[in-house]
Amino acid sequence: MVFIETNNEMTNDFVSNKQRLFDRWAPSYDCLFPSVIYQAIHQRLLKYVNLPPKARVLDMGCGTGRLLNRLASQFPNLHGTGLDLSSEMLRFARSSNCHHPRLIYLRGEADTLPFAENQFDAVFSTISFLHYLHPEHVLNQVARVLKPHGSFYLVDINCPQFLEPYLQVFQTTSAEAIRLYSRESRQQLGANAQLKCLGHHSLLTPVLLTVFSK
Ligand SMILES: C[S@@+](CC[C@H](N)C(=O)[O-])C[C@H]1O[C@@H](n2cnc3c(N)ncnc32)[C@H](O)[C@@H]1O
């Protein structure tokens, strides 16, 4: 596992670059081929989701809000918050919010979550963890905002050979901008943040779900 040493300026550049890329991608995000894959992933993820009645959930890096709409349809008493770096992604999420006011969307960064501790029964992250510069900070934040025994559903690409098309979308060859985590490194990162790994499930060949509990 590689942790990247950064100063504030590097971190700000990294985050603004990501924001620009996702703002640019937002208008076509739900129409392009990767979206078909993402929606298949969301559908398969539901099979493993276990929530208490009236669950409060956070979707970190929520993009256009497709996963939260699906969760809110499946769990009629759920309240969800979507958080994303990209204002443009959030604009589309708000305009396709089928469950207002049960679902709300906020702009923010995953490594400084703007919530008090012990707020959520579950946190979701689908195909966004690979973008985080400081994964260890993000996991500490997830552990902080989860209620005791709450769940973290981490879904990400885990096969390097499937990264190539993704790097093309981002017009970068830099694997530094996107990082993949094996089963072992997910487990280790979780343990460092006091999150217990309950298991891994393949959702698609290159996409792995890891479930953690606080
Ligand atoms: C590939 S999209 C996935 C969106 C959604 N989770 C899905 O399954 O369709 C990755 C999302 O992560 C967001 N993101 C990237 N870095 C982030 C950060 N540091 N904090 C919050 N969101 C971030 C991007 O803006 C983008 O909307």
Please report, for the domain that includes residue 21, its CATH number.
3.40.50.150
- The pLDDT of residue 110 is 97
**Does 155 contact ligand 1 (Cβ within 6 A)?**
no
Estimate the share of the chain in helix, then strand, then coil, as percent rounded to the nearest 5. Answer: 45, 25, 35
Calculate how far, in angstroms, residue 62's C-alpha sits from the geometric centre of ligand 1.
6
Per-residue pLDDT band at 2 (split at 50, 70, 90): very low
The count of structural domains within the chain is 1
41-47 CB contacts, 8 Å cutoff, 24+ apart: 41/126, 41/127, 41/155, 41/203, 41/204, 41/207, 42/66, 42/67, 42/70, 42/126, 43/70, 44/203, 44/204, 45/124, 45/126, 45/153, 45/155, 45/203, 45/209, 46/70, 46/71, 46/74
> Residue 174 above 60 pLDDT?
no
Given a cut of 80, whether residue 161 has pLDDT beyond it is no
Instruction: For residue 51, give its domain range.
Output: 2-213
pLDDT at 65 over 50: yes
Query: Which comes out higher in pLDDT, residue 162 or 154?
Result: 154
Whether the model pTM is above 0.75: yes
128 CA to centre of ligand 1 in angstroms: 5
Q: Which of 84, 113, 162, 180 to mutate to test the pocket of ligand 1 (most atoms within 8 A of CB)?
A: 84
Q: Which of 143, 160, 55, 38 is nearest to 89 (CA)?
A: 38
Ligand 1 proximity of 124 Cβ (cutoff 6 Å): no
